[in-house]
Amino acid sequence: MAPILANYHTHTPRCHHASGSEEEFVQAAIHCGYSILGFSDHTPWPFAGGFVSNCRMLPAQMDDYVATVRALQKKYAGQIRIYLGLEAEYFPAYLPWLAEQTKKYSLDYLIFGNHFCASEETGEYFGAATRPAQLEAYTEYAVKGMESGLYCCLAHPDLCLNHYPAFDATAERCLRRICETAARLHVPLEYNVLGEVRRMAEPHDHDLGYTHPNFWKIAAEYPIQAIVGCDAHDLAGIERAPRVLAVKQELRGMGIKVLDTLPGLGL
Ligand SMILES: [Zn+2]
Ligand SMILES: [Zn+2]
């Protein structure tokens, strides 16, 4: 049997930092042999005070996002299983709104992208963390989010290492806490292929980058479940299918339990 290829982490141009139409993503996924493609664009939030984010759609764009993906689901039924979700942060003040949207649009899933502290208007971007206190905050929110039970996996679980200078004792302690929590609550951790690609493409003399090998060495010490995600912001992201398959083998070789599909989002 051919290995199962699934990707639940796909963006659309609505987030202002992705390219390629939804239909092009679907066709690329079929071409590359995926059986499952999940759209999980950066969620909108009903920000207070007229704040407009430059990295996500507006709430008013949800109708179009949902209609577009649902139409493709029908059009390509029989060729590929398409799921509709969102990548969302843990912003306590706006979670009731997110729950309403999830229900209103019957979204299939949420993935947890722990990008900002508490909210985007005031919170720091965790991908720019350079100080131990910021890693502690990242971990605090990662744990709270996983404990909420809202999300089907934690995307790029070591995003906080992106601009962090060294794999010090704080980094190790924080990442161990994330792994311990994920194992305890059965929240799959995503091996983020985009992070790996970025880490390899750029020199990291002064920071670590994310999807760091040290993180996955630590993760292998815990009974966690892993899912491999492309975090596709363009067609090239989808076309990394060979790497997705290779990563699954590598993680399994490390003794990590790798999921082919997320619970409730199978073939
Ligand atoms: Zn993005
Ligand atoms: Zn993403």
Q: What is the pLDDT of residues 236-264, one digit of tens each?
A: 999 999 999 999 999 999 999 999 999 99
Average pLDDT on 201-209 reads 93
Ligand nearest to the CA of 8: 2
State residue 202's pLDDT score: 87
Q: Is the pLDDT of residue 41 over 90?
A: yes
Are 188 and 259 spatial neighbours (Cβ–Cβ below 8 Å)? yes
State residue 203's pLDDT score: 87
**What is the residue type of 31?**
H
pLDDT in tens, 97-109: 999 999 999 999 9
Residue 15 Cα to ligand 2 middle (Å): 10
State residue 111's pLDDT score: 98
State residue 156's pLDDT score: 98
What's the distance, CA 65 to chain centroid? 18
State residue 177's pLDDT score: 98
Residue 56 Cα to ligand 1 middle (Å): 8
Residues, CB within 5 angstroms of ligand 2 (ion): 87, 231
pLDDT in tens, 26-37: 999 999 999 999
Q: How confident is the model at residue 46 (pLDDT cuts 50, 70, 90)?
A: very high
Residue 13 Cα to ligand 1 middle (Å): 10
Average pLDDT on 125-139 reads 98
Counting every residue written for the chain, the total comes to 267
What residues have CB less than 8 Å from 252, skipping those under 6 apart? Answer: 258
User: At 258, which helix (H) or strand (E)?
Assistant: strand 257-258
State residue 237's pLDDT score: 98
Residue 232 Cα to ligand 2 middle (Å): 7
Residue 116 Cα to ligand 2 middle (Å): 13
Q: How confident is the model at residue 3 (pLDDT cuts 50, 70, 90)?
A: confident
Residue 18 Cα to ligand 2 middle (Å): 10
